[in-house]
């Protein structure tokens, strides 16, 4: 059973969950109803909630935003949903002890990868160039910190050689997400 934690009223978030196709999805929401963090799918509810509570330890469980978490689950499984980015917390300064996005650069990267169309990919270099920087590794680091996976499609960013590259949730999850969007992958490389 998932433990509810109430340590302070000022920084508490609400976590909503959804079970879909034997995977558990979770998202944390601010008092204003904005998403502060999304968990990649897990095999059980405790792991999904734990992924969020590592960053936001003061939380309560709530079904209030279950519909949005269901939408995120559908996106993971390949539904092309136009998710409203106004629903995610993009402020660098936030009311939470652990801000979701730490720097302007991280926010710029998040906004840039949010533009990658469904069923397509871009390279780390493409993202860096669109931000007028040669810091490809810095872009990769910012992408690795993406607190909104699935909704902000960091899985659509690959290496310049066509290999899928790393992923916080593991390459298997990245391959699943890209395959669910209709991309062909062989030996962890995008193929035509």
- pLDDT given at position 93: 58
Do residues 146 and 140 lie in contact, with contact meaning Cβ atoms separated by under 8 Å?
no
pLDDT digits (tens, 9 = 90+) for 19-42: 999 999 999 999 889 999 999 999
State the average pLDDT over residues 147-168: 94
Confidence of residue 157 (pLDDT cuts 50, 70, 90): very high
Residue 21 CA to residue 2 CA, distance in Å, equals 20
Q: Is 74 one of the annotated active-site residues of the chain?
A: no
User: Given 39, 154, 178, 185, which residue is catalytic?
Assistant: 154
Residue 104 vs residue 95, higher pLDDT: 104
Nearest to 142 by CA among 111, 173, 175: 111
- Element housing 52 (H / E): helix 45-53
Residue 148 CA to residue 23 CA, distance in Å, equals 17
Residue 143 CA to residue 157 CA, distance in Å, equals 9
Which residues is 25 bridged to in the sheet?
18
Is residue 88 predicted with pLDDT exceeding 60? yes
Confidence of residue 7 (pLDDT cuts 50, 70, 90): very low
Domain 104-191 classification at class level: mainly alpha
- pLDDT given at position 36: 94
pLDDT digits (tens, 9 = 90+) for 122-146: 999 999 999 999 998 999 999 999 9
Greatest CA span in the chain, whole angstroms?
A: 52
- pLDDT given at position 92: 64
Residue 129 CA to residue 107 CA, distance in Å, equals 16
């Amino acid at each position: 059973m998932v433990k509810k934690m109430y340590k302070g009223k000022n920084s508490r978030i609400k976590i909503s969950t959804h079970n879909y196709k034997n995977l558990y999805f979770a998202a944390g929401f601010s008092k204003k109803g904005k998403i502060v963090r999304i968990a990649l799918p897990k095999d059980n509810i405790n792991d999904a909630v734990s992924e969020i509570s590592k960053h936001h330890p003061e939380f309560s469980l709530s079904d209030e935003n279950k519909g949005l978490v269901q939408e995120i689950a559908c996106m993971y499984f390949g539904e092309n949903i136009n998710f409203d980015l106004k629903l995610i917390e993009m402020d660098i300064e936030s009311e939470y002890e652990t801000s979701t996005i730490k720097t302007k650069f991280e926010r710029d990267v998040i906004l840039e990868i949010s533009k990658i169309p469904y069923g397509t990919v871009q390279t780390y270099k493409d993202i860096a160039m669109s931000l007028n920087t040669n810091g490809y590794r810095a872009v990769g680091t910012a992408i690795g910190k993406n607190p909104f996976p699935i909704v902000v499609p960091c899985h659509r960013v690959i290496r310049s050689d066509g290999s899928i590259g790393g992923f916080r949730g593991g390459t298997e999850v990245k391959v699943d997400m890209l395959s669910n969007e209709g991309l062909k992958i062989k030996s962890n490389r995008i193929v035509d």
